[in-house]
Amino acid sequence: MAVSSAAPKRDKAGRPIIAVTGMGVVTSLGVGKSDNWAKLTAGQSGIRRISRFPLDSLRTTIAGAVNDVYQDYMPPAELSERIALLAGDEAIAEAGIGTKGRFPGPLFLALPPLEIEWHYRIAMADSAKLNEDAGYPDLTRVAREPQFAPIYESLKYGIIGEHLAVHFGTEGSPISLTTACASGASAIQLGVEAIRRGECQAALALGADGSLTPESLVRFSLLSALSTQNDPPEQASKPFSKNRDGFVLAEGAAALVLEDLDHARARGARVLGILEGCGEKSDSFHRTRSSPDGKPIIACMRNALADAGVGPEDVDYINAHGTSTPENDKMEHLGVSAVFGEHIRGIPISSNKSMIGHTLTAAGAVEAVFSLLTLEHQRIPPTINHNVPDPAIALDVVPNVARDARVRRAISNSFGFGGQNVCLVMTREPA
Amino acid sequence: MTERREVWITGVGLLTCLGDGLEATWNRLERGDPPPYDDKSFAPYIVHPLGPVNFDKQIPKKSDQRQMETWQRVGVYTAGLALSDAGIAGKPDLLDHTDMIVAAGGGERDIAVDTAILSGVRKVNQPGAFLNERLMNDLRPTLFLAQLPNLLAGNISLVQGVVGSSRTFMGEESAGVDAVRVALARIAAGQSELTLVGGAYNGARWDVLLAFELGNVLLKGKFAPVWDRGPEGGIAFATMGAFIVLESREHAQARGARARARISQVYSDRNMRQPGESEAALRRQWEAIADKVDRAHAVIISGAAGLEPATSAERHVLQGIGLPVRNTATYIGHGVDTQFMANLGIACAVIEHGKLFAPTGSGDLGESPPGLSQAIVTSVGNWRGEGLALIERVD
């Protein structure tokens, strides 16, 4: 690092300040920041009828698929890796950090779990040449036939991280993680913590989810988590509306180059924003539902504000988790009302998921990028499909149309199955 | 940066084929009992299944147990053992700021549903439509929650009340090493006081065996110690759970908790297992701690899994180091994400008892040194996952 005569910049707690110097994003709206931002602030939806597989017997037939990237029969592992790579390349190019194929820091990667695909299982059952029942022992008997060899590495939970670490040239052991729908935010938090510890001066945080398959759709469907208002697809995701009936499954990826502010300035990098604080709190109430008193999500947001060293009155915008499920939006309303008190009436809160659906593992990273773009452009993306307000939710959800506003600081919420909650606090570059 | 703080292991929870709890496992290791394995249920593959365990002791509600698959029950149970051992269990004021990092894969499938679908799907003209119909009708709604990797942590929050924070790392043995590495770094830097780290694995199931048979890594036919499985050697997977509680010395002393050991260093790295890389990675990690090792009083607890050439590469490095060596996988099998934490738990027992357990196989070297006070724990995964930790007696 360049020797500087200036004293190192530190936050209120005496820690390195975490700058964001590069961002990349892929969603159903498109590939890249500029395309996504233009469509997001135009209130466009990326939700479409699913074209990837047959829809017979399914209650939900819509999704926010990354159709710009998907190619026929691409398995989720390959699609997730592809969109992670696109987002990461965009972020690193913008940051202009390191040299080609050598990123000077670790990789934290939020990913969906991987499994053997059905078409492979079926191919193995065919190969076992059984006319009747084909069980796992039969599949195992033919598993070493050469045509199945490529499946082996694709099933390693670490393989995408390894491929990406090689591609980006990140340092050390790449960490692949999941905290369900909070995963993308957890990846950012791990990067922030590593820089604060002084282990590194830069980190690459990535979240990617390209796992739209019949089985993933069925799994969420059986938990009654998905919207079944399939027609028209663009209007299904309606966070905070009275007629909301579930989330829309979606794919996406986002990457953030996190960097010690001193390091960024020393190399003359453009600072896109500051990752000022992170908060977590787990919920011990239920596997899929929030504690009815909202205490864990309230504590999560308060932990994030405390970590940033700011108060509720310092927040100008809330990027909601806002899934469009009856449960989440009610609990998030309860949570933000408790944390922000009377201030909440003056704080716009919008849900990107109204347009891109719920990108699951990637959501925390995707929505952090959109929050930082909100700060950069001083323009708040809307909550679309807000035609039937829920009288029980008295929030300024930036209904239907984007809004120019003075936004000095934003928070982004991520609440996951399994009670894993993360909140991020972001602000603009300090003087 | 603040000074690096001292970190203790104040709790261990272990459930292996050798028994329920660290002491049960230690007692059989010390006696050198023949390892319990099952070469019939999944023949020709050999696995190390769990012995009898009463999950009610740590998961009192049957409704909770029903919502989990085996790997989650094993993990929640073992996490409970570790929390009890550390004196945290049932204490909301401590659990409220207990962080958690779990290493997990998950994905436990409903074998009966899969088998029925595989039989039917190949007889119909529209397999896609058939698949949708069967999945919609036959999958149990809650099975999804028993498959998600992060729902082991979720269930620990729910049943054991650990709610400080929760993260789940995926990536086989590397995930286990990195979970401990990050937990140690966070506490040492003052980002956490108290962290529960661990994992659980159910290797006695056909979907796991299928996933690994694709890579031809399974031990078949005749059981042998990991060092002596030969060039066609393989892994005997296990069902096991292992959790450890890491805690800052200040926090532990303030609440009167005792240290099972100090954890001083954890290293992980990335290599692609090109010829010689596994060996070089372990050697690099050893060199990083070598000057902190008191050679007269140190031993090595090896994570060798029995797969070649990685096991021979590790043996070569360990022989060069020249300290006494014991492997664990011959006794308890291989638990992938969980193995490193299990070996750290066993290393705590080695430190506390001041002696090694009985050797098994030609790579187990040397005898217990008098005044044994340090243990180096290695990890060499089934595919990647070279790692190393140093733990020490707290005097």
Residue A282 lies inside a defined structural domain of this protein: yes
**Catalytic: which of A321, A333, A386, A423?**
A321
CA angle A415, B174, A152 (to 5 degrees): 95
User: Which contiguous run of DSSP H or E holds residue B217?
Assistant: none
Residue A335 belongs to what domain range? 18-115+155-427
User: Across residues B365-372, what is the average pLDDT?
Assistant: 97
Between B114, B137, B178, which is nearest A175 by CB? B178
Residue B134 lies inside a defined structural domain of this protein: no
Residue B265 lies inside a defined structural domain of this protein: yes
Count of residues making up chain A: 431
**Axis-axis angle for helices B22-31, B339-353 (nearest 10):** 70
Distances (CA, A) of B344 to A272, B192, B205: 43, 20, 25
pLDDT attached to residue A418? 85
Number of structural domains, chain B?
1
Residue A9 lies inside a defined structural domain of this protein: no
Q: What is the pLDDT of residues A245-301, one digit of tens each?
A: 999 999 999 999 999 999 999 999 999 999 999 999 999 989 888 899 999 999 999
Which residues of chain B neighbour A194 with C-beta distances below 8 Å? 185
Cβ within 8 Å, pair B174-A179: no
Search chain B and give the residue with CA nearest A125.
B118
**CATH code of residue B363:** 3.40.47.10
Q: What is the pLDDT of residues A159-183, one digit of tens each?
A: 999 999 999 999 999 999 999 999 9
Mutation pick from A156, A159, A221, A295 vs chain B, by most beta carbons of B within 10 Å, is A156
- The percent of residues above 90 in pLDDT, for chain A, comes to 91
Residue A201 lies inside a defined structural domain of this protein: yes
**ipTM score of complex:** 0.97
pLDDT-based confidence at residue A60 (cuts at 50, 70, 90): very high
User: Across residues B132-144, what is the average pLDDT?
Assistant: 94
Residues 89-148 of B with CB under 8 A from A: 100, 105-107, 109, 111, 114-115, 117-119, 121-122, 126-129, 131-133, 135-137, 139-145, 147-148
Tokens standing for residue B345: 């738990």
The yes-or-no answer on residue A358 being catalytic is: yes
The pairing of strands B194-202 and B239-248 is: antiparallel
What is the radius of gyration, based on Cα positions, of chain A?
21
Tokens standing for residue A46: 């990326």
Instruction: Give me chain B's average pLDDT, please.
Output: 96
Residue B82 lies inside a defined structural domain of this protein: yes
The yes-or-no answer on residue A263 being catalytic is: no
Q: What is the pLDDT of residues A3-40, one digit of tens each?
A: 445 788 999 999 999 999 999 999 999 999 999 999 99
**CATH code of residue A367:** 3.40.47.10
Residue B182 lies inside a defined structural domain of this protein: yes
pLDDT-based confidence at residue A208 (cuts at 50, 70, 90): very high
The yes-or-no answer on residue A321 being catalytic is: yes
Q: What is the pLDDT of residues B233-282, one digit of tens each?
A: 899 999 999 999 999 999 999 999 999 999 999 999 999 999 999 999 99
- The residue assigned the tokens 């006081």 is B193
Tokens standing for residue A406: 């003075």
**Axis-axis angle for helices A33-41, A363-377 (nearest 10):** 70
pLDDT attached to residue B1? 44
Backbone angles phi, psi at A23, to 5 degrees: -145, 150
Residue A134 lies inside a defined structural domain of this protein: no
Tokens standing for residue B370: 């008098």
What is the radius of gyration, based on Cα positions, of chain B?
21
B80 shares contact with chain A (CB less than 8 Å): no
pLDDT-based confidence at residue B3 (cuts at 50, 70, 90): confident
SS (H, E, C) chain A: CCCCCCCCCECCCCCECEEEEEEEEEECCEECHHHHHHHHHCCCCCCEECCCCCCCCCCCCEEECCCCCCCCCCCHHHHHHHHHHHHHHHHHHHHCCCECCECCCCEEEECCCCCCCHHHHHHHHHHCCCCCCCCHHHHHHHCCCHHHHHHHHHCCCCHHHHHHHHHHCCCCCCEEEEECECHHHHHHHHHHHHHHCCCCCEEEEEEEECCCCHHHHHHHHHCCCECCCCCCHHHCCCCCECCCCCECEECEEEEEEEEEHHHHHHCCCCCCEEEEEEEEEECCCCCCCCCCCCHHHHHHHHHHHHHHCCCHHHCCEEECCCCCCHHHHHHHHHHHHHHHHHHHHHCCEECCHHHHCECHHHHHHHHHHHHHHHHHHCEECCECCCCCECCCCCCCCCECCCEECCCCEEEEEEEECCCEEEEEEEECCCC
Cβ within 8 Å, pair A140-B209: yes
Distance CA B194, CA B352 (A): 21
Residue A7 lies inside a defined structural domain of this protein: no
pLDDT attached to residue A133? 76
Q: In angstroms, what separates the C-alpha of A386 from chain B's closest C-alpha?
A: 30
**Contact indicator for B116, A202 with CB cutoff of 8 Å:** no
pLDDT attached to residue A2? 46
pLDDT attached to residue A3? 47
Residues 275-334 of B with CB under 8 A from A: none
Number of structural domains, chain A?
1
Residue B198 belongs to what domain range? 7-107+148-392
Q: What is the pLDDT of residues B305-338, one digit of tens each?
A: 999 999 999 999 999 999 999 999 999 999 999 9
Instruction: Give me chain A's average pLDDT, please.
Output: 95
Buried b (16+ CB within 10 A) or exposed e, A101-111: eebbbbbbbbb
